[in-house]
Amino acid sequence: MTVKNDRVVELDQAVIRFAGDSGDGMQLTGNLFSESTAFAGNDFATFPDYPAEIRAPQGTVSGVSGFQIHFGKVDIHTSGDKADVLVAMNPASLKANMRWITEEAVIILDTDAFIEKNLIKAGYESNPLTDDSLTGHVVVQAPITTLTREAVKDLHIDNKSAQKSKNMFALGMIFYMFNRTYERTFRFFETKFQKNPLVVEANKKVLSAGFNFAHTIEAFANTFKIKPAALEKGIYRNVTGNLATSWGLLAAAERSGRKLFLGSYPITPASEILQEIARHKQFAAIAFQAEDEIAGIVSTIGASFAGSVGVTSTSGPGLSLKSEALGLAVMTELPLVVVNVQRGGPSTGLPTKSEQSDLNQALFGRNGEAPLIVMAAQSSSDCFYSAYEAVKLSVEHMTPVILLTDGSLANGSEVFKIPEVSGLPDINPPIVEANDPDFKPYKRDGEKLRRAWAIPGTEGLRHRIGGLEKEDIYGNVSHDPLNHEKMSRLREEKVERVANYIPELEVDGDPDADFLVVGWGGTHGMMLTALEQLRDEGHSIAMAHFKHIKPLPRNTREVFSRFKKILVCEINLGQFVNYLRMSLPGIEFDQYNKIQGLPFMVKELKQKFLEYLSD
């Protein structure tokens, strides 16, 4: 719906995609527009789309970097299907993104880049600016490179340095198009480049030039405005999933009264968690960059044994390397959180792409019977609360937790309302007091079946610990077959009892519908949007989305039994649906899977759901 007011068109929502060569600064451009969107009071979600190749040949489709933002005055759950506006800095970025824009999209192009050499690199046989292939789109042709040089000519900087600011020219055009001011962006330049005033001045001049150029040309018959969203009162900021995860870990450590220790090895797309924790020594947080994945987790187990909140972060290939040490953490029954930011697999796979690739590994990827808690964050902002809860469950139940996020959540961003840490749930570690006469290393409480946390150096709490099977209650090394079975069953039951301490499964949509769609983790926003749109169109449909996977919520079977048709949607080949079939025999599940390194699109979900609704 739009309402015209002079030359300003009011929109409910819009999607913009910035695209260019990997050196064109599209991620920074998108992030700066996201910051302006946050200050404008809009709800939004973003999706950075990095090239998979390191140093891909300049000007080629494989080297295109993209950043998409979906923003509006309405609730935004996804980064959007297709863009209403595309900024394409070269022919390759135009070619790579034509399928990701609407039929009426506005396309802003740097015409200086559309020379024969670049067209050949991008795979064009003719120039799209002159061959009518862009018919139907509003095409804004701007000599961005030339105008960028012109804007900074009085600063006497070389052409190569000047061209590094051309992304700011494009950003200035978008600021004008959506009626944004750029004073806060100027302050960002002043802070980020404070040691290089020439760079600050160049970026200011180029951004202003882009804004003024858009104001003077006739290509923009209208500009657009999106009013603030109806958000609750509070302090908000733009957060990525990795940033939110880091903050959730820090908040949980503070509430537990224990120090935070993160032992990790850098790996895409999880490295930012290590970097963020390293910035916060004021919170008694220790970030240890280990020499490899194994050292990362075993250092974390040592920190947990010593009484810290032990965390390690990784992605799929790293989780494989951590599997034996995870079994050690299960056997020693120490709290440990593994944050696994999933990417496409197998092996090195698709490092910059997103996939729900590691659920099987999280559930079953250890030798022997080694049960642990498995959770999955649902959105970039939910990474905060999921990380917090992962620490709480791990510490209070004395067992490892694997928290699954994914690349789209980790690198994507959302509006996040910063909570009061004092208002978050209490975290109560079962720490043994000195000289407790009843202390036995593997003596369990009757409710959670957890053993107590005996901190080394505490008087009277000496005990043996290691990777060999433990004797029930006393913790001595035991090769007794009956004891091994007993301990295996106790460890499994301890994890299953966690179901008594997590929320029951809720159903969104129509509880009396015949058709239930099911998802887990990062598919939540797309599925919820598809559900809302179908209900607005008069369809009866319901959705159940899982955050807690091992154990499943205790009412899962009861919820599923109410529906005639159940469709499980995943960004893999069916890992969760197979787990459900194994865990809930007698219930029939259909499945819908996508495995392209990309999130679901709302349009494709709706199309699939309509097939079932029309049966």
What is the C-alpha separation between 281 and 578, in angstroms, rounded?
Answer: 43
pLDDT digits (tens, 9 = 90+) for 14-45: 999 999 998 889 999 999 999 999 888 999 99
CA dist list (Å): 594 to 27, 197, 356, 379, 531: 26, 48, 10, 19, 18
Q: Burial level of 125, CB count in 10 A (0-12/13-18/19+)? A: exposed
pLDDT digits (tens, 9 = 90+) for 113-156: 999 999 999 999 999 999 999 999 999 999 999 999 999 999 98
Question: In which element (H, E) is residue 336 found?
Answer: strand 336-342
Query: What is the end-to-end Cα distance of the chain in Å, rounded?
Result: 32
**Residue 6 has what pLDDT?**
56
Using only C-alpha atoms, the chain has a radius of gyration, in whole angstroms, of: 26
What is the C-alpha separation between 425 and 501, in angstroms, rounded?
Answer: 12
Does residue 267 or residue 1 have the better pLDDT?
267
Full strand arrangement of the beta sheet holding 400-406: 285-289, 260-264, 309-314, 336-342, 400-406, 373-376, 548-550
Q: What is the pTM of this model?
A: 0.94
| Range with lowest mean pLDDT among 183-192, 311-320, 573-582 | 183-192
- In the predicted structure, residue 1 carries a pLDDT above the cut 60: no
Backbone dihedral angles phi then psi of residue 189, each to the nearest 5 degrees: -60, -45
DSSP 8-state assignment for residue 135: T
* List of residues 6+ apart from 512 with CB closer than 8 A: 540
- In the predicted structure, residue 484 carries a pLDDT above the cut 90: yes
Torsion of CA 562, 563, 564, 568, to 10 degrees: -140
Which pLDDT band, with edges at 50, 70 and 90, does 3 fall under? very low
Helices 197-216 + 183-192 axis angle, to 10: 160
Q: Which residue segments constitute the domains of the chain, with CATH numbers given?
A: 3-225 (3.40.920.10), 237-423 (3.40.50.970), 508-613 (3.40.50.920)
Please give the single-letter amino acid code of residue 490.
Answer: L
What is the C-alpha separation between 513 and 544, in angstroms, rounded?
Answer: 12
Please give the single-letter amino acid code of residue 15.
Answer: V
- 3-class DSSP assignment, residue 206: helix
What is the C-alpha separation between 306 and 293, in angstroms, rounded?
Answer: 20
Contacts 24+ apart (CB under 8 A), 579-584: 579/359, 579/360, 579/363, 579/549, 580/518, 583/552, 584/556, 584/557, 584/560
The first and second tokens of residue 253, run together, are 């450590």
The first and second tokens of residue 475, run together, are 């913790």
What b/e readout covers 231-253, taking b as 16+ CB neighbours within 10 angstroms? eeeeebebbbbbbbbbbbbbbbb
